[in-house]
Amino acid sequence: MAEVQLTNVSKRFGKDIALDDVSMTIPDGAFVVLLGPTGAGKTTTLRIVSGLETDHEGDVQIGGRSMRGLTPAQRDVAMVFQQYSLYPHLTVRDNLAFPLRSPILKTPKDEVEAKVRQVAETLQIAHKLDNKATALSGGEMQRVSIGRALVREPSVYLMDEPLSSLDAKLRADLRVELKRIQAERGATLLYVTHDQVEAMTMATHVGVLDHGRLVQFGPPREIYENPVSLYAAARLGQPRINLLPADLFGQAPAGAKTIGLRPEQIVQGEGEAAQVRRVERLGDQTRLHLHLKGHEIVTVTDAHTTLTGGETLPIRPERPFWFDDRGDRIS
Amino acid sequence: MARIEIRDLRKEFGDFTAVQSSSFTIEDGEFFMLLGPSGCGKTTTLRMIAGLELPTSGEITIDGEDVAQRPASQRDIAFVFQMFALYPHMNARKNIAYPLVSQRMPKAQVKAKVDEVARILGIEDILDRPVGGLSGGDRQRVALGRAIVREPKAFMMDEPLGALDAEFRERMAEELRALHDRMGATTVYVTHDQLEAMQMGDKIVVMNHGVVEQFGVPQDIYDWPATRFVADFIGSPPMNVLEFEGRAEPGTTQVDLGDATVAMPALRDGASGRLGLGVRPEHVVPDDAMPYRGTVTATEYLGTTQIVSFDTAHGPVKARIAADQPARVGDKTGLRFDARTLTLFGQDGRALLSEANEKVLAHG
């Protein structure tokens, strides 16, 4: 496995700036998740590292070697796309074995079989090995396309929303599995998603992209607990962070325009009187939709709260985040 | 507006039974969820309530009137589909007005109604735009507008948010629920997303293989699942079920897993054979003093909390604990289960009655 380094990478599509001077080091063995809404530059970054996109400024190095001028095949990367692309005339087994049978690798037959079986079991498709790829459900096809990347041991795995087409249970299983495989192999993995749960649970590092700029890069815990901006703060956390006028609870630090409150930064039972608008029972916790001086605030409370809606609940901030008028964190 | 009663409802398609024998009641003004995996019969049930499918047998009454064998047009119900089918050549206003125009309502009245609906949905500014150029959310709002404009007795919605991406979906879900709270119209809503069901529903019916597994308010279903299917389908991560061979007598307040005994609410029923002890992840607490042991196999950070997976003698167990509690892969520890919250499942997959769940489950 290898370290991946991006240095001052920019990419334009006509007048649109897709990536704006991105520099980032993906350490050897790291699981890096790029997070951001549609159009933030996540997929473009992935395509530039893979070599599918070559017309860009700046440099990409994999394992200390510049990738300039190299084709995707020469870069020793394995890719998984959101849209699975399998060989429809081949069985699941042959689809999985295909990368191993390439003339460059010349993997021995029994080794191919053992690897295919192991990956198939991990991805819960071992019982479908002899099926034609076209006889699978969408979720199964996607697992095969993930498997086709995992049978190889490239310098880096590149994955573009590989779990987004799967149902919730399978997604939860595969999150754990992918993470385990990556950790066991010490694989370097660059992964694109807009699902914050995937980012939080799998990543060793999260890169937050905003309109082509890398605005924060660090462990998920750091981004959650110490966001650099309002934008970064809003990327992680469910329910989403509450962003309110700085003076809503009284005194605010100089220059503060916005106060940011995650549920754990809201103390219930003292402070300003908020109205309970709606009580949502999620099972393990209950979400409260509050109304305070014309603003909506969402927080969480105990699963078996006696609140039902219509009550008054005093709340106050506890160690909140403060942001200035540009959205940058000031404390 | 409408109280809907379903009694012994059954639907066969040739040899295939889509819905076995469903019975439940939708109270007037409820936001009611039909929840289950694909193929469980939830959409068929909805289509029967709407009159798009006629049942093989059984009763559907709307405000006391049996409508089971009546066509959709005589039921005064509005249907919102997953793929919002708008008339592409008309603008938003004409799409919303369509049901009224086809009822030959006078023009001035149509305009007043459309304007009112547009105000409720917050789409006044797009009324004169062609629907082809609208965003997914606005198209969905127009489709909703067309459904609510004729003030039907009830709304049927078949995964109306299924095609939207996660972030937007959550916003639309909140919007839909707020809209319902303002209008108070009985709504029956089909989804396969348990979180959506918990979040939006006043009541939930959980279906599997054409059978109603459980029916009740979300918190009761979450806390006291009637079957292992419900225990597994509701909650993320789902309820842990420790598999063991053993027996439990009525009145007992603990179960013997073979290598550890675990306290639980006093049982009303007894059972023996292949049993399962169910515990929700937030009721599992690492506690080194406890005899039931686990080894950490994975940790998943979620901000406020984390999910810690353990390998144990009776299968994998997940715990939801505070994010600042240390847990590392390979750590060995004891596990404490909150005794008041446990459910014991018999060999048939049904929950045994206990002092804790009998209020929820005894009525069937």
DSSP for A104-172 reads TT---HHHHHHHHHHHHHHTT-GGGTTSBGGGS-HHHHHHHHHHHHHTS--SEEEEESTTTTS-HHHHH
Between chains, do B167 and A281 touch, taking CB under 8 Å as contact? no
Cβ of residue A227 closer than 8 Å to a chain B Cβ = no
For residue B235, list chain A residues with Cβ-Cβ distance below 8 A. 283-284
When CB atoms are compared, the residue of B198, B235, B282 closest to A281 is: B198
Asked whether the beta carbons of A293 and A281 are under 8 A apart, the reply is no
Tell me: pLDDT of B163 over 70: no
pLDDT, tens only, B131-141: 888 887 788 88
Residue B198 has pLDDT above 80, yes or no: yes
Cα separation of the two ends of chain A = 39
Three-state DSSP class for residue B267: strand
Cβ-defined contact of B303 to A238 (cutoff 8 Å): yes
Handedness of CA A60, A63, A64, A67 (dihedral sign): negative
Measure CB to CB from residue A282 to each of B166, B181, B198 and give the nearest one.
B198
B55 touches chain A (CB under 8 A): no
Alpha-helix residue ranges (DSSP H) falling in B89-215:
92-101, 107-121, 136-148, 166-183, 194-200
Mode of pairing for the β-strands spanning A31-35 and A205-210: parallel
Is residue A45 classed exposed, middle or buried when 0-12, 13-18 and 19+ CB atoms within 10 A define those classes? buried
B169 touches chain A (CB under 8 A): no
Chain A / chain B CB contacts < 8 angstroms: 80
The verdict on a CB contact (< 8 Å) between A200 and B301 is yes
Task: pLDDT band for B243, please (50, 70, 90 cuts).
Answer: very high
Distance separating alpha carbons of residues A194 and A179, to the nearest angstrom: 17
Sequence letter at residue B10: R
Any A CB within 8 A of B325 CB: no
Question: What tokens does A167 get?
Answer: 């149902």
Task: For residue range B277-336, list pLDDT tens digits in order.
Answer: 999 999 999 999 999 999 999 999 999 999 999 999 999 999 999 999 999 999 999 999
Give the range among A292-306, B8-22, B115-129, B196-210 with minimum mean pLDDT.
Answer: B115-129
Q: Do A283 and B177 touch (CB under 8 A)?
A: no
- Average pLDDT on B98-108 reads 92
Q: Which of B264, B289, B294 is nearest to B276 (CA)?
A: B264
Q: Which of A221, A262, A283 sits opposite B219 (nearest CB)?
A: A283
Closest CA to A151 of A186, A110, A116, A117: A116
Q: What is the secondary structure of B69-109 as a DSSP string?
A: TS-GGGT-EEEE-SS----TTSBHHHHHHHHHHTTT--HHH
Tell me the pLDDT band of B83, cut-offs 50, 70 and 90.
low
Q: Is the pLDDT of residue B84 over 70?
A: no
B94 touches chain A (CB under 8 A): no
* Mutation choice for B interface testing from A281, A298, A300, A308 by most B CBs within 10 A: A281
Say if residue B164's pLDDT is above 90.
no
b (16+ CB within 10 A) / e for B206-227 = bbbebbbbbbbebbbbbbbbbb
pLDDT for the residue numbered B179: 86
How many CA within 13 A on the CB side of residue B180?
A: 23
**What is each CA distance from B353 to B234, B241, B360, in whole angstroms?**
19, 16, 9
pLDDT at B162: 75
Q: Provide the β-strand partners of residue B261.
A: B256
Note down pLDDT in tens along chain A; length 331 residues: 799 999 999 999 988 899 999 999 999 999 999 998 888 999 999 999 999 998 999 999 999 999 999 999 899 999 998 777 789 899 999 999 998 887 777 788 899 999 999 999 888 889 999 999 888 887 788 889 999 999 988 999 999 999 987 877 888 888 988 898 898 889 999 999 988 999 999 999 999 999 999 999 999 999 999 999 999 999 999 899 999 999 999 989 999 999 999 999 999 999 999 999 999 999 999 999 999 999 999 999 999 999 999 999 999 999 999 999 999 999 8
> Is B235 within 8 Å of chain A by CB?
yes
Pairing of strands A156-160, A189-193: parallel
- Token digits of residue A329: 């964190």
Read off the pLDDT band of B86 (50, 70, 90).
confident
Contact indicator for B188, B46 with CB cutoff of 8 Å: yes
> What is the arithmetic mean of pLDDT over B16-20?
95
DSSP characters over B5-19: EEEEEEEEETTEEEE
Partner residue opposite B234 with nearest CB, options A195, A283, A304: A283
Is the reported ipTM for this assembly greater than 0.90?
no
Structure tokens given for B145: 């507008």
- Measure in Å the smallest separation between the Cα of A49 and chain B Cα atoms: 26
Cβ–Cβ of A224/B280 closer than 8 Å? Answer: no
Residue A104 confidence (pLDDT)? 73
What is residue B302's predicted lDDT score, i.e. its pLDDT? 94
Mutate to test the interface with B, among A176, A180, A184, A193 (most CBs of B within 10 A): A176
**Regarding beta strands B154-158 and B186-191, do their DSSP bridges make them parallel or antiparallel, or are they unpaired?**
parallel
Q: How many Cα atoms are found within 13 Å in the side-chain-facing hemisphere of A300? A: 20
CA-to-CA separations, A329 to A211, A232, A253, B302, in angstroms, rounded: 18, 10, 12, 22
Residues B298, A287: C-beta atoms closer than 8 Å = no
